[in-house]
Amino acid sequence: MNSTSDRPKSISAYGPARSTILDQPLSSAELRLMHRYWEASLYMSAGMIYLRDNPLLREPLKPEHIKRRLLGHWGSDPGMSLIYIHLNRLIKKYDLDAIFLAGPGHGAPALISNAYLEGGYSEIYSDIEESAEGLGRLFKQFSFPGGIGSHCTPETPGSIHEGGELGYSISHAYGAAFDNPELIVTVMVGDGEAETGPLATAWHSNKFLNPVRDGAVLPVLHLNGYKIANPTILARIPHDEIEHLFRGYGYEPYFVEGSDPETMHQAVAATLEHCVQVIRHIQNEARSAAPEKVTRPRWPMVVLRSPKGWTGPKEVDGHKVEGFWRAHQVPLAEVHEKPEHLAQLEAWLRSYKPEELFDKEGRLDSELRALPPGGTRRMSLNPHTNGGLLRKSLRIPDFRNYAVKVERPGTISAGPTEILGQFLRDIARDNVHNFRVFSPDENASNRLTAIYEATKKVWMGEYFPEDADGTEITPDGRVMEMLSEHTLEGWLEGYLLTGRHGFFSTYEAFVHVIDSMFNQHAKWLEKSRELAWRADVSSLNLLITSTVWRQDHNGFTHQDPGFLDVVANKSPEVTRIYLPPDANCLLSVADHCLRSHDYVNVIVSDKQPHLCYLDMESAVRHCTKGAGIWQWASSDQDSEPDLVMAGCGDVATMEALAATEILRQHFPDLKVRFVNVVDLFRLLPDTEHPHGFSDPDFDALFTTDRPVIFNFHAYPWLIHRLTYRRTNHHNIHVRGYKEKGNINTPMELAIQNQVDRFSLAMDAIDRVPSLKLRGAHTRDTLKNEQLECRRYAYAEGIDAPDIVNWKWSI
């Protein structure tokens, strides 16, 4: 590399490779073979985009061989395939356990072609055999109705990263590397993707990777130069800024830049080999050092500047294509309309000499077949990319051991997350290689601190003397905390998809930061379920805490229970939502979730102390049913109730109980049935969700004609969306958060949103026909008591003791 202060140039001005490492490790025979192998993958990549027939061009190319609709992205495939193929060489040479993540969007042809060339694709999909017919079917099915996508979807062998939405390749890669000491995860990062926020901060993941017990991540930033229609930022800043940036992120960047294949093969071969050696050296040093000497190494990374759409058409209709944004998608788009495009396409495809790449049966030439590794060393068949194969069940202690002793319902308090923390602590203790806990700087705030008795937070940054006093960090900790929900979610997904287990806790309002990541992961799971060859992975367990009803002091920005609405839009096959009302129910739910697989489990539970209602066995029974009548809080024994009072969520349930008590005091003869809902999807019909109640079961709880007051944790309309088909729906009156809040006390916030005991009791008076007249006076009394609460809150800044200390006393 001559100068480090160069301003970037058009890639065509680079020519022969310039690189940090100047070795030339390939013999000319090796180089020729690898180049041909690369050309085979490039031919296939282009073939997938264009060909529905004549896959080996054994006839002259005619319009009827071309797909009617041309889809797929050519631009990033050549660079990505080049890295893949050179990794193959090193896997064989060093017997590496390696996987490959493709960050750039729509980059599937690079992976699919390589999976096919190494035989992995045909082993998984028997109809895509290694023959001209198989190749033809592969080409045709690509980005074709009923076929496979142009992203690295779950259907792609060797993929754990789809890249449909950009930004998560690096965090997925680190997630895969944690606790896999022998694994090398190479991750291509597109320079478009690199502009996203989640990607930009994920580079800092190196502060959380311990070379002793974790594997290595080798990022390859692909300065492909262009996005859909724009240059990329990182391809248009001076060389020294790129170098500074990655040194600043803590990496040692190695550059490979150029457009001449021959010299680029040598440069890539040399650079990747050097990086593997550096990785091995770092690991050997760290693993032979005393534990207290382990520090954060400067891990290598590669910056690859190569032409977008490399080896494709240089110009089309007088416009530059190779090395320009026009190569992003389909370089020759009008092959059906313009004969000269068809001719240019044929010339392009034939430039790879398919007749020399594939033998007469259509199998890859035997000389080339010898190049890739075999068995599960093939990146397309590496079991880490089908993590369910490697997944071991968690060792889970009996959650009943952590139970709160509840002798009478609603009379003692416990912090649900504090109790859960003890359970998680022992799970962490008993599963030291395949379980991690994730939170954005909030495990302590969320009161899960008991975990630190088993393992602390991993930290590979610098240490200060005062850290001994409660910072709870250590290089070999297994609790993951960084102030980036994106990075945490990405790590967790990568960790789960490679066969491990995890638990994520986060503030309710800010889980919306990862709405889109949740969507994408749910979609991944949904598609994976349809593939018999993909083994089940552990569920993604998400504890939503610091919930809206206890964010009265943090104000309006911290009040948003709407993540449940996002979750409810995704497939019922993969989504579960639980709102345990107390600590014992939380234990039961958490145990269930930690044993499950292929779901996203969302658990909503506040971190403050809350009343306990159910002893452990009752909690288990209740959570298993998912929703049920609490007889001890009901007064409708042996008869139809006048009113159903329902609670879903901890605070919502407490206020509904307190309202029941008020009603009982004022109207002793009123028959109230108290229902609690833990498993939210019980409310859906059984035709809509596997957890849904049948209509008779639903009616058995909520009746077919009695007024129902449903006090809900989140936005009230979600309950209507779930229950609109039920017989008694028109009688269901839902209270929940309706976007009212500022700086309040808990009770004042509840009152503003009418989920408080007084509002609910008044609702009952308004809705139970027999109370309408005789309840008028009580209604006034309640109104006044409510007002008194507000006055107290405004004067004292806290809720009155009788509110704070309320217990169930009937």
Between 407 and 462, whose beta carbon lies closer to a second copy? 462
Q: How far apart are CA 582 and CA 670, in angstroms?
A: 27
Place of tokens 């996508």: 149
* Residue pointed to by tokens 């809150």: 793
Of residues 293, 76, 273, 342, the one with CA closest to residue 189: 76
Residue 408 phi, psi dihedral angles, 5° rounding: -130, 135
Nearest distance in Å: CB 394, a second copy: 26
Q: Give the CA count within 13 Å in the CB-facing half-sphere of 430.
A: 13
Residue closer to a second copy, measured from CB, 513 or 768: 513
The residues near 116 (Cβ < 8 Å, ≥ 6 apart) are 44, 122, 128, 130, 135, 138
558, 611 contact by CB (below 8 A): no
Provide, rounded to whole angstroms, the least separation between the CB of residue 610 and a second copy.
18
240 or 617: whose CB is closer to a second copy?
240
How would you classify residue 54: left for phi > 0, otherwise alpha for psi between -120 and 50, otherwise beta?
Answer: left
Q: What is the torsion angle, in degrees rounded to the nearest 10, for the CA atoms of residue 101, residue 103, residue 105 and residue 109?
A: -30
- Tell me the DSSP string of 737-774: --S--SS--HHHHHHHTT-SHHHHHHHHHHHSTTHHHH
Say which residues have a Cβ less than 8 Å from residue 194's Cβ, sequence separation at least 6. 200, 221, 232, 233, 234
**166 versus 701: smaller Cβ distance to a second copy:** 166
Least distance (Å) from a second copy to the CB of residue 229? 4
- Selection from 575, 195, 618, 224 nearest residue 410 by Cα: 618
Kindly tell me which of 29 and 532 has the beta carbon lying closer to a second copy. Answer: 532
Q: In whole angstroms, how close is the CB of 641 to a second copy at the nearest point?
A: 23
Q: Return d(Cα 95, Cα 92) in angstroms, integer.
A: 5
Compare residues 321 and 629 and give the one whose CB is closer to a second copy.
321
Residue spans of beta strands (DSSP E) within 135-225: 183-190, 216-223
Listed in order, strand segments (DSSP E) in 60-129 are 97-102
Question: Nearest approach, Cβ of 11 to a second copy (angstroms)?
Answer: 9
Tokens representing residue 290 in the block = 């005393």
Instruction: Count Cα atoms within 13 angstroms, Cβ side, for 458.
Output: 25
Count of CB atoms within 10 A of residue 120's CB? 23
Amino acid identity, residue 74?
W
- CB burial of 264-274 (b: ≥16 within 10 Å; e: otherwise) equals bbbbbbbbbbb
Rg (CA), the chain: 30
We find the least distance from the C-beta atom of residue 653 to a second copy, in angstroms, to be 22
Shortest Å, Cβ 151 to a second copy: 6
Q: How far is the CB of 648 from a second copy (least distance, A)?
A: 17
DSSP state of 679: B
Which residues, 6+ apart, have CB-to-CB distance to 244 below 8 Å?
Answer: none
Nearer to a second copy, 206 or 431 (CB): 206
Between CA 550 and CA 749 the distance in angstroms is 9
Q: What is the DSSP string of 150-169?
A: SS--TTSTT-S---SSSS-H
Nearest to 108 by CA among 64, 157, 59: 157
Alpha carbon distance 378, 365 (integer Å): 18
**Cβ of residue 153: shortest distance to a second copy, in angstroms?**
7
Q: What minimum distance in Å lies between the beta carbon of 717 and a second copy? A: 4
400 vs 720, beta carbon nearer a second copy: 720
User: Nearest distance from residue 642's CB to a second copy, in Å?
Assistant: 23
Torsion of CA 308, 313, 316, 320, to 10 degrees: 40
Closer residue to a second copy in complex, CB, 111/269: 111
Comparing CB distances to a second copy, the nearer of 71 and 389 is 71
Distance from first CA to last CA of the chain, Å, rounded?
Answer: 81
DSSP E strand boundaries for 508-660: 540-545, 575-578, 600-604, 610-612, 627-629, 643-648
In terms of CB distance, is 359 or 695 closer to a second copy? 695
For a second copy, give the closer residue by CB, 122 or 232: 232
CA 681 to chain CA centroid, Å, is: 21
Q: Which residues pair with 315 in a beta bridge?
A: 320
User: Taking the complex as a whole, how short is the minimal distance between the CB of residue 7 and a second copy, in angstroms?
Assistant: 6
d(CA 616, CA 399): 9
Burial class (CB in 10 A: 0-12, 13-18, 19+), 29: exposed
Nearer to a second copy, 36 or 227 (CB): 227
Residue 788 has a CB neighbour count (10 Å cut-off) of: 12
Q: Considering the complex, what minimum distance in angstroms separates the CB of residue 664 from a second copy?
A: 30
Helices (H) and strands (E) in the chain, counts: 26, 23
Cβ-based nearer residue to a second copy, 87 or 566:
566
Question: DSSP H helical segments within 626-725, as ranges?
Answer: 650-666, 695-702, 717-723
Residue whose CB is less far from a second copy, 156 or 344:
156
Least distance in Å: CB of 645 to a second copy? 20
Shortest distance (Å) from residue 785 CB to a second copy: 17
Q: Minimal distance in Å, beta carbon 405 to a second copy?
A: 28
Decide: 103 and 192 in contact? Cβ < 8 Å. no
Residue (167 or 261) nearer to a second copy, CB = 167
Nearest to a second copy of 202, 672 (CB atom): 202
CB of 236 to a second copy, least distance (A): 3
Q: How far apart are CA 695 and CA 295, in angstroms?
A: 60
Both tokens of 593, joined, read: 């979730």
Q: Give the nearest distance from C-beta 225 to a second copy in angstroms.
A: 9
Instruction: Name which of 462 and 669 has its Cβ closer to a second copy.
Output: 462
